[in-house]
Each structure stands twice: as structure tokens, then as C-alpha cells.
Amino acid sequence: MIGNRYPAADVLAQRGRWDAATRAVVLDRVHNVPEFRYFNGHDRVTLEALCARIIPQDHRPIEDRVPIAPWIDERCAGAASVGFRFEDMPDDATAWVLGLTGLDDAAQSIAGAPFCSLPSIKQDRILNAIRTGDPPGDTWQRLPARRWWINLALKQISGIYYAHPTAWNEIGFGGPAYPRGYAALNFGAREPWEADEVLDPGSSPA
């Protein structure tokens, strides 16, 4: 579990100082989480289990957790293009479904059960097998595991998480700063409206 490095951070409290377009985009993300349209049943449960291991949020009350799986679903349902696909990969929506099947293939082979039913420590073993690029299972003969892991699973899931003000608070990111701008530029100084970093006793960041 991670510490609470910026306990006073509340980026959203500054929203009255943001421009209207930025405020609309961020608040829409916070308040209007899409319904699932693309994944259902077992795939949806597997996707949620994957998101919970890549970005563990057990330390937060459920209502404070950043939703991630619904946004993956939204991208797949809308067949959103990010500008390219690798020639050895299908389109993103298809690759997501294949990858979730691959998670179960590997889970069955390594632990004898579907991914979503495993305890988290075993789920992490499955993910580490994919991370190293050579997981067991037929699906991974057709889908390059390392590419799926980095470009879809990690980049999309982390991208959705770090787009959320809750994650900005966690890392001490000051957030939008137009039209106000920044004034305290040197040597890590903070603006009056930014939070101080509070390190755990005995720990140092680097």
C-alpha cells in the first residue's frame, strides 16, 4: 500500500479558478462515468479484476476509487482510434477481448482457475508472466504478450487513472493553471494553493 504523500491536496477545490472549457472536461470525467456497453458478464469481471491489480485502490473507500474499466469499455464500444495499430495486432477493441481471454488461459494453466477468481497474489503471478512476455496459453500464440501488456493494459489503464483529480492529489500535481498561471517556479516551490509534501517518518523520496 502506498503512503499519503500530499494529505492536503485537493486539486478539484481549485476548479473555480480554471477556464470553463477545462472545468467542463474534468468535471465531466469525474461525474459522468459511462455505462458498460461493450464488455459484459465474465469479460467485464475479468477487466475490473485486471484494473484493480494494475492500479490497486483497496486503501480507498469504494465511493472514492477512480473508475477505470468503464472508460476502457467506452473506448472499445466507440471503436476509438488512437492513430495507429501494430501490424501484428488486431484493432484495440478486438485486442482487449483477446487479452482478457489470454488472462484466463494463463490463469488456468498456472493456477487452474479463471483470473478473476484467484487471490490477488496469484493474479500478480499471472500478470508477471505476461509482463515477461512469455505467458502460457493458446491466445498468446496469436497476440504478442509484451505489446498487449505495455500498449493496451498498462498505458490505457494508467492513462485513465492519471487523468483523474484523485490521482493528481496522490502525486501532488498542481493541475490546470489557466488563466492564473504559475508563479513559484524555482526549486520545487509551491503556490499558496498547492499542497505540501509530507514524507513518512524515516522515508525519503529518492
Binding residues for another protein, rule: CB under 8 A, are: 1-3, 5, 18-22, 25-26, 29, 53-56, 80-88, 124, 127, 131-132, 146, 149-150, 154-155, 158-163, 167-168, 170-190, 197, 204-206
Q: Are 55 and 68 in contact (CB under 8 A)?
A: yes
Residue 55 to residue 67: CA distance in whole angstroms: 10
R_g (Cα) of the chain, nearest Å:
19
Provide the minimum distance between the beta carbon of 133 and another protein in the complex, in angstroms, as a whole number: 9
- Closest CB 108 distance from another protein, rounded Å: 21
Which of 31, 84 has the CB closer to another protein?
84
Spatial CB neighbours of 120, under 8 Å, sequence gap ≥ 6: 52, 53, 56
Minimal distance, residue 115 CB to another protein, in Å: 14
DSSP label of 18? B
Nearest to 101 by CA among 139, 148, 75, 130: 139
Residues forming a β-bridge with 179: 18
Closest to another protein by CB, 24 vs 40, is 24
Least CB distance to another protein at residue 109 (A)? 20
Distance CA 199, CA 197 (A): 6
Contacts of 169 (CB under 8 A, 6+ apart): 6, 9, 10, 11, 195
Nearer to another protein, 32 or 204 (CB): 204
> For another protein, which is the closer residue by CB, 81 or 141?
81
Cβ distance to another protein smaller for residue 133 or 136: 133
- Number of Cβ within 10 Å of residue 167's Cβ equals 17
CB of 160 to another protein, least distance (A): 8
